[in-house]
Amino acid sequence: MNRFNPESLVRQNIRKLTPYQAKEIPCRIKLDANESPFPLKLSDFISEIDVHLNRYPDPEAIKLRKALARRIKIPYTKIMIGNGSDELIYYLILTFGGPVLYPSPTFAMYGIIAQSVGVKRIESKLDVNFDIKEEVIDLIKTEKPRLIFISSPNNPTGNSFSTEKILKIIDTASKNSAIVVIDEAYQPFCSERGFLPFLKDFDNLVILRTLSKIGLAGLRVGYLIGNESLLFEINKVRLPYNVDALTQYIATVALNKFYSQIRKFITEIVKERNKMQKELSKIKGLQVFPSEANFILFKIKNSHNVYKKLLKEGILVRDISSTIKDALRVTIGTKEENREFLKVLNNILGEYS
Ligand SMILES: *Cc1c(COP(=O)(O)O)cnc(C)c1O
């Protein structure tokens, strides 16, 4: 009897797809996934969970949307919740299709999802300072993308792009019937205000945010902010119960009752990031890039070996060298974790000299 081989049935674009790399690597200090290092235990801020598990969750997640609306001062009707912002990226591409244009290197999911859905990807390389090139403007006019994704601050480079430059992109896109998605996953760590104030000026602007990087990665809550007419279209592909009842309840309580604590954590991370930036820049042979996020990108010779030696000491960072030569990305941890990371890194580099 012939063995059934699923691969023969897989759509061509999926067969060629490399999945997003996410696996648990055992370590002592985890600085690889841009999570918050501050433990947020459920029992620390919720004593009773008032959820009826026999019922489906609220398909419109009204309470959670209202809790978010209060925080960002935008009507809740302009907010859609996703199972992480990853899901919302998926919905955007599923709804509007391609071509999908994005600068590169950037967050891997724009490309992976575009490929899964089967639409054309257009990548525009960032310049040596990891800034967006002028060619993006030309590409909007000539390639007619339907969606343009810009992560600002950008992952994995850490810099944010100038407001003026992005406004020019949004304006050009608006004249060419393209939607611009500003992915503000790291906005809470950034000194600039982000693009919420510009929503009223542009119908083709969508903003993505997430609770993942500010302490609630385990919950999977991302949100999309845009005009009601855009949300109406995206809602057609959204699965009816995409955010479960427990998540809706806990995220709502966290936003309504625990937000000042989350803010303190963010302030602490920014302080630690600036310190870490300074310390890394003192290390000879190491090139550190400016960051407006909760992680720092740096280049070092033999980066893959440095990565492995750090891991041997129990410290897990992200090896970016397959996309940016010699680059490693370190997430900002607690004061103690950062100190330990710097100590071990200095020891490792000392061995080379
Ligand atoms: C981490 C990250 C996301 C994914 O966030 P989730 O809400 O956890 O799905 C989206 N965009 C960027 C740029 C990220 O770095």
Ligand 1 atom closest to Cα of residue 154 = 13
Cβ of 36 less than 6 Å from ligand 1 = no
pLDDT per residue over 68-85, tens digit each?
999 999 999 999 999 999
Ligand 1 atom closest to Cα of residue 87 = 9
Cβ of 222 less than 6 Å from ligand 1 = yes
In contact, 210 and 203? CB cutoff 8 Å? no
Q: How confident is the model at residue 353 (pLDDT cuts 50, 70, 90)?
A: low
Q: How confident is the model at residue 333 (pLDDT cuts 50, 70, 90)?
A: very high
Q: What number is the average pLDDT over the span 317-322?
A: 96
Tokens of 87: 């899901």
pLDDT the model gives residue 13: 87
Cβ of 337 less than 6 Å from ligand 1 = no
CA 173 – ligand 1 centroid, Å = 23
Ligand 1 atom closest to Cα of residue 217 = 8
Kindly tell me if the per-residue pLDDT of 167 is higher than 80: yes
What 8-state DSSP symbol labels residue 154? P
Q: What is the pTM of this model?
A: 0.96
CA 32 – ligand 1 centroid, Å = 13
Question: To the nearest whole number, what is the mean pLDDT of the chain?
Answer: 95
DSSP letter for each residue of 36-64: -SS---HHHH-S-----TTSPP-TT-HHH
pLDDT per residue over 196-245, tens digit each?
999 999 999 999 999 999 999 999 999 999 999 999 999 999 999 999 99
How far apart (Å, rounded) are the C-alpha atoms in residues 305 and 308?
A: 5
pLDDT the model gives residue 250: 96
Cβ of 105 less than 6 Å from ligand 1 = no
Q: How confident is the model at residue 1 (pLDDT cuts 50, 70, 90)?
A: low
Kindly tell me if the per-residue pLDDT of 129 is higher than 80: yes
Strand extents, DSSP E, the chain: 29-30, 79-82, 100-104, 121-125, 147-151, 179-183, 205-210, 222-225, 286-288, 295-300, 315-316, 318-319, 327-331
Kindly report the protein residue whose alpha carbon is nearest to atom 2 of ligand 1: 185
pLDDT per residue over 266-279, tens digit each?
999 999 999 999 99
* Phi and psi, residue 4, nearest 5°: -70, 130
* Number of H-type helices and E-type strands within the chain: 12, 13
CA angle, corner 160, sides to 311 and 221, nearest 5?
Answer: 70
How far apart (Å, rounded) are the C-alpha atoms in residues 146 and 109?
A: 17
Calculate what percentage of the chain has a pLDDT beyond 70: 99
Q: Which domains does the chain have, with CATH numbers?
A: 9-39+260-352 (3.90.1150.10), 54-258 (3.40.640.10)
Tokens of 209: 């945010």
CA 225 – ligand 1 centroid, Å = 15
Kindly report the protein residue whose alpha carbon is nearest to atom 9 of ligand 1: 84
